[in-house]
């Protein structure tokens, strides 16, 4: 049997059903090492992110921001300690179940090169819908069909239908980042993770993008986990976390 089936998505998002009621992410005494034998890259005593909360995580390059996001997304597992996603201890789940949790509940925006170059913008937005039945079902609530939902999301993010039909590689960087945001938001996942999504944009457009992203997350009811080295973007978030304070791992010369 598919171990992912053991994860009941309905129970997973039901605030009353989980012990950690209301927490989307809950980290306790977490340690993470990329490769056995190396010094730990992350050591986080505690971190909680509530449902629908907007958290800004600030940290210098190399401070472990992306590593933390990999852990929350279930691509890497804690070496020690606990990381719970909607009450599910990720370290106790198999790879398939973690992949399923990610596909069902997390939208992810990279710094750049977000899109599959040979797919149209719309087909890029639809990717999570193909890998997650839950996102597919929820996308149908956003529009008549997942495709309609994708077109509506793109329109909300200022991508018209003509651009949406174009191949990803033909779009500008700014358009690509907005398509990536639409993909993260389709099917209204509980968490949207953004790993420095504005650093490839010029400064005038950074705030505009961030405003759009926040508005869309609010509309979808998604928590936003936004990572950046740029302190200026922190305004408008519910909470700000500094990697330097969060991560107790001694930072060597790498």
Partner 1 sequence: MKPFVFVLAARSAWNRRLTLGVTMAAVALSVLLLVGIERLREGARHGFAETVSGTDLIVGSRTSPVQLLLYAVFHVGAPTNNMGWAAFQAVAADPAVAWAVPVALGDSHRGFPVVGTSPGYFEHFRHGDGRALALAAGRRFDGLFEVVLGAEAAQRLGYAVGRRITLSHGTGEALLPEHADKPFVVTGILARTGTPVDRALHVSLESLEAIHLEWRGGAPVPGLVIPAEFVRKFDLSPKSVTAVLAGLHERTAVFAAQRRINAHAGEPLQAILPGVALDELWQVLGTAERVLVAVSALTAAIAIAGLVAVILAGLGERRRELAVLRATGARPRDIFALLTLEGLFVTVAGSAAGLALLLACALLFGDLLLARYGVALAAQSFAPSELARVGAIIAAGLVASMVPGLRAYRLAVADGLTPGS
Ligand X SMILES: Nc1ncnc2c1ncn2[C@@H]1O[C@H](COP(=O)(O)OP(=O)(O)O)[C@@H](O)[C@H]1O
Comparing CB distances to partner 1, the nearer of 84 and 105 is 105
How far is 102 from 191, CA to CA, in rounded Å?
Answer: 9
> Among the candidate windows 42-50, 104-112, 140-148, 246-254, which touches partner 1 by CB under 8 A?
104-112
254 binds, among ligand X, partner 1, Mg ion, none (CB under 5 to 8 A by kind): ligand X
Residue of 135, 109, 44 whose CA lies nearest to 83: 44
Residues numbered 127-166 forming contacts with partner 1, rule: CB under 8 A: 127-128, 130-132, 135
Binding of partner 1 by 110 (CB under 8 A): yes
Residue 182's CB: how many other CB atoms inside 10 A?
28
* Number of residues engaging ligand X in binding (CB under 6 A): 11
Cβ–Cβ under 8 Å, residues 38 and 223: no
Min separation Cβ 186 and partner 1, Å: 10
Q: Choose from Mg ion, partner 1, ligand X, none: what does 176 bind? Cβ within 5-8 Å by kind.
A: none
Which residue is associated with the tokens 């996102």? 135
Tell me which of Mg ion, partner 1, ligand X, none is bound by residue 64, counting a contact when its beta carbon lies within the kind-specific cut-off of 5 to 8 angstroms.
Answer: ligand X
Parallel, antiparallel or unpaired: strands 42-50 and 191-195 = unpaired
Does 236 sit near partner 1 (CB under 8 A)? no
Q: Please report how close the Cβ of residue 41 comes to ligand X at its closest, in angstroms.
A: 5
User: DSSP letters of 225-240?
Assistant: EEEES-GGGGTT-SEE
Least distance to ligand X from the beta carbon of 43, Å? 13
Among Mg ion, ligand X, partner 1, none, partner that 212 touches (CB below 5 to 8 angstroms by kind): none
For residue 16, the SS3 value is coil
CB of 252 to ligand X, least distance (A): 9
Work out which of 59, 78, 87, 103 binds partner 1, going by CB under 8 A.
103
- Dump strand ranges (E) for the chain: 23-32, 42-50, 54-58, 80-85, 88-89, 106-109, 191-195, 223-228, 239-242
Helix (H, G, I), strand (E, B) or coil at 63: coil
Give the tokens for residue 221: 């009811």
Residues 27-86 interacting with ligand X (rule: CB under 6 A): 34, 41, 59, 61-67
Put the strands of the sheet holding 223-228 in their side by side order: 106-109, 191-195, 223-228, 54-58, 239-242
Instruction: Find the shortest distance in angstroms from Cβ 61 to Mg ion.
Output: 7
- Partner whose footprint covers residue 127, from partner 1, Mg ion, ligand X, none (CB < 5 to 8 Å by kind): partner 1
**Cβ burial, residue 58 (10 Å; 0-12/13-18/19+):** buried
95 touching partner 1, by CB under 8 A: yes
- In sequence order, the β-bridge partners of residue 23 are 50
Closest to Mg ion by CB, 79 or 199: 199
CB atoms within 10 A of CB 142: 19
Length of the chain: 254
Please say which residue, 100 or 178, places its beta carbon nearer to partner 1.
100
Interface residue list for ligand X (CB under 6 A) = 34, 41, 59, 61-67, 254
């Amino acid at each position: 049997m598919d171990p992912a089936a053991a994860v009941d998505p309905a129970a997973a998002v039901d605030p009353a059903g989980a012990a950690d009621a209301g927490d989307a992410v809950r980290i306790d005494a977490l340690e993470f090492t990329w490769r056995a034998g190396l010094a730990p890259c992350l050591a986080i005593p505690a971190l909680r992110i509530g449902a629908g909360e907007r958290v800004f995580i600030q940290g210098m390059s190399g401070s472990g921001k992306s590593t933390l996001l990999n852990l929350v997304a279930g691509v890497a597992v804690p070496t020690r300690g606990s990381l719970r996603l909607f009450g599910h201890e990720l370290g106790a789940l198999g790879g398939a179940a973690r992949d399923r949790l990610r596909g069902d509940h997390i939208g992810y925006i990279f710094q750049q090169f977000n899109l599959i170059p040979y797919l149209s913008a719309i087909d890029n937005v639809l990717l999570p819908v193909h890998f997650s039945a839950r996102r597919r079902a929820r996308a149908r609530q956003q529009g008549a069909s997942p495709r309609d939902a994708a077109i509506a999301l793109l329109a909300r993010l200022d991508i018209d239908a003509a651009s949406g039909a174009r191949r990803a590689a033909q779009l500008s960087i700014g358009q690509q980042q907005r398509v990536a945001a639409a993909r993260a938001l389709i099917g209204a996942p509980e968490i949207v993770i953004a790993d420095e999504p504005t650093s490839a944009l010029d400064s005038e457009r950074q705030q505009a993008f961030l405003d759009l992203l926040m508005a869309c997350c609010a509309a979808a009811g998604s928590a936003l986990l936004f990572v950046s080295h740029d302190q200026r973007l922190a305004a408008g978030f519910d909470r700000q976390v500094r990697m330097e304070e969060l991560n107790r791992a001694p930072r060597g010369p790498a």
